[in-house]
Amino acid sequence: MGQQVPVAEGVFTFPSESPHLIGSRCTNCGNHMFPTQGSCPKCASTDTEQVELANRGTLWTWTIQGYPPKAPPYAGDADPKSFEAFGVGYVELPGQVKVETRLTVADPDQLRIGMEMEMVLVPLTTDDDGNEVVTFAFAPTSTGVES
């Protein structure tokens, strides 16, 4: 059994007990971006700084990926026989930005716009060295879902 490795460097803090997405903040107008970028789409400034984004927010919209994405680019299980549907949504991070993310829940009855979410890391695949590759996802907080 290898180690845990992130899907890419610089997307989220790793290793971290409380992982956060890494974004940019425009030092001119305060606009937030994810992932990091060196220029601001709002005011066109080229002065941006790297920031850790909030790891809690509310679900702005969602869907469920019901069929295996094409691989590549998908690194997870794309075998139609074993593929498991997963949720995808935008989570609104208060005062910052809405980020597109996997969701840990794939059941329409357990997802509703406006519910509280928090960021977690989830296994995606195993690489050639036996390492577990992880990516980010958002999960309903314990108070976010009924039942």
Pairwise CA distance, residues 98 & 92, whole Å: 4
Q: How far is the CB of 69 from other proteins (least distance, A)?
A: 6
Q: How far is the CB of 42 from other proteins (least distance, A)?
A: 5
Residue 64 or 145: the one with the smaller Cβ distance to other proteins is: 64
How are beta strands 86-93 and 32-33 bridged, if at all?
A: unpaired
Pairwise CA distance, residues 100 & 95, whole Å: 16
Pairwise CA distance, residues 16 & 9, whole Å: 13
Pairwise CA distance, residues 7 & 131, whole Å: 11
The pair of three-digit structure tokens given for residue 140, joined into one six-digit string: 């309903």
92 contributes a contact to other proteins by CB under 8 A:
yes
Residue 53 or 142: the one with the smaller Cβ distance to other proteins is: 53
Q: Using the rule CB under 8 A, which residue among 45, 74, 116, 120 binds other proteins?
A: 74
76 contributes a contact to other proteins by CB under 8 A:
yes
Pairwise CA distance, residues 145 & 98, whole Å: 20
- What mask of x and - would describe binding to other proteins in positions 27 to 66, judged by CB under 8 A? ----xxxxx-----xx-----------------xxxxxxx
Pairwise CA distance, residues 25 & 37, whole Å: 9
Q: Rule CB under 8 A: which residues touch other proteins? A: 7-8, 11, 23, 31-35, 41-42, 60-67, 69-70, 72-76, 86, 88-90, 92, 95-102, 108, 113, 124, 135-136
